[in-house]
């Protein structure tokens, strides 16, 4: 059997969910009471971020990708994904890990025949403060590079507009019929005042 070395700030749990007709549909927040947590109130959302990955993904998703992996608390537990709970407070993580250990890191939801159960793997992660600093540093570096790229592109656009304008002027100088098409001179039908021309003819 191949073992997987997990960091100290990560705990793996197994959640068995009954699929008997008389049992309710168990969701992510059904696990919370077993971890010493109450309902999914706003305070909890400030500290714990539920995420979903493939079953084979043991490690915590990168902090930059956390938003794309986020799932609501009322997501139904399935055996087709691995649930990750990213805990942003050390004390909350230690408390959750303690309550998980009281259940030997195994949670059974519902009764019925054990054969009619599905297994969902749950990973508890504690977000190291250093990772937040590293992410902010990478974001700042990327922002500075994007600003430099935008400045270069603006300069290139100005040069292209100038070159294109000069090319159009040269083209219109050699081919007068093209000038109205590029907006360098007014088309013949709007040059001057047509009403004034009619008045002059009537006066004659």
User: Is residue 196 situated within a structural domain?
Assistant: no
Q: Which domain holds residue 34?
A: 10-127
Mark whether 71 and 101 lie in a shared domain.
yes
Mark whether 29 and 49 lie in a shared domain.
yes
Mark whether 100 and 173 lie in a shared domain.
no
Average pLDDT over residues 157-180: 77
Mark whether 121 and 154 lie in a shared domain.
no
Mark whether 105 and 157 lie in a shared domain.
no
Choose between 129 and 78: higher pLDDT: 78
Mark whether 58 and 115 lie in a shared domain.
yes
Task: For residue 177, list its beta bridge partners.
Answer: none
User: Is residue 200 situated within a structural domain?
Assistant: no
User: Is residue 155 situated within a structural domain?
Assistant: yes
pLDDT grade, residue 201 (50/70/90)? low
User: Is residue 187 situated within a structural domain?
Assistant: no
Mark whether 16 and 46 lie in a shared domain.
yes
User: What is the C-alpha separation between 147 and 77, in angstroms, rounded?
Assistant: 43
**Model pLDDT, residue 161:** 86
Mark whether 36 and 136 lie in a shared domain.
no
User: Is residue 141 situated within a structural domain?
Assistant: yes
User: What is the C-alpha separation between 68 and 107, in angstroms, rounded?
Assistant: 27
**Model pLDDT, residue 6:** 53
Q: Given 94, 111, 127, which residue is the final one in a domain?
A: 127
pLDDT in tens, 43-54: 788 889 999 999
User: Is residue 190 situated within a structural domain?
Assistant: no
Mark whether 151 and 110 lie in a shared domain.
no
The model's pTM is 0.64
- Strand bridging mode 10-18 / 117-126: antiparallel
User: Is residue 51 situated within a structural domain?
Assistant: yes
pLDDT grade, residue 34 (50/70/90)? very high
Number of domains in the chain: 2
Give the range among 50-64, 92-106, 136-150 with minimum mean pLDDT.
136-150
Mark whether 21 and 118 lie in a shared domain.
yes
**Model pLDDT, residue 122:** 97
User: What is the C-alpha separation between 152 and 138, in angstroms, rounded?
Assistant: 21
Match 């304008």 to its residue by tokens.
165
User: What is the C-alpha separation between 136 and 130, in angstroms, rounded?
Assistant: 10
Does the pLDDT of residue 104 top 70, yes or no?
A: yes
Mark whether 80 and 161 lie in a shared domain.
no
User: Is residue 62 situated within a structural domain?
Assistant: yes
Mark whether 103 and 157 lie in a shared domain.
no
Does the pLDDT of residue 165 top 90, yes or no?
A: no
């Amino acid at each position: 059997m191949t073992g997987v070395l997990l960091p100290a700030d990560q705990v793996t749990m197994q959640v068995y969910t009954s699929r008997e007709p008389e049992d309710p549909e168990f969701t992510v927040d059904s696990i919370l009471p077993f971890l010493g947590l109450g309902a999914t109130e706003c305070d909890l959302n400030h500290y714990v971020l539920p995420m979903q990955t493939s079953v084979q993904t043991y490690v915590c998703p990168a902090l930059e990708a956390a938003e794309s992996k986020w799932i609501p608390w009322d997501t139904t537990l399935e055996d087709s994904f691995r649930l990750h709970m990213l805990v942003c407070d050390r004390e909350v993580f230690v408390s959750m890990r303690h309550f998980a250990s009281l259940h030997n890191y195994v949670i059974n939801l519902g009764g019925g025949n054990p054969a009619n159960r599905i297994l969902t793997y749950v990973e508890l992660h504690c977000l190291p403060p250093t990772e937040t600093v590293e992410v902010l540093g990478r974001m700042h570096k990327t922002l500075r590079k994007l600003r430099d790229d935008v400045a270069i592109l603006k300069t290139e656009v100005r040069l292209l507009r100038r070159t294109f304008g000069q090319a159009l002027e040269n083209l219109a100088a050699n081919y007068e019929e093209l000038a109205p098409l590029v907006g360098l001179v007014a088309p013949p039908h709007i040059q001057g005042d047509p009403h004034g021309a009619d008045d002059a003819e009537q006066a004659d």
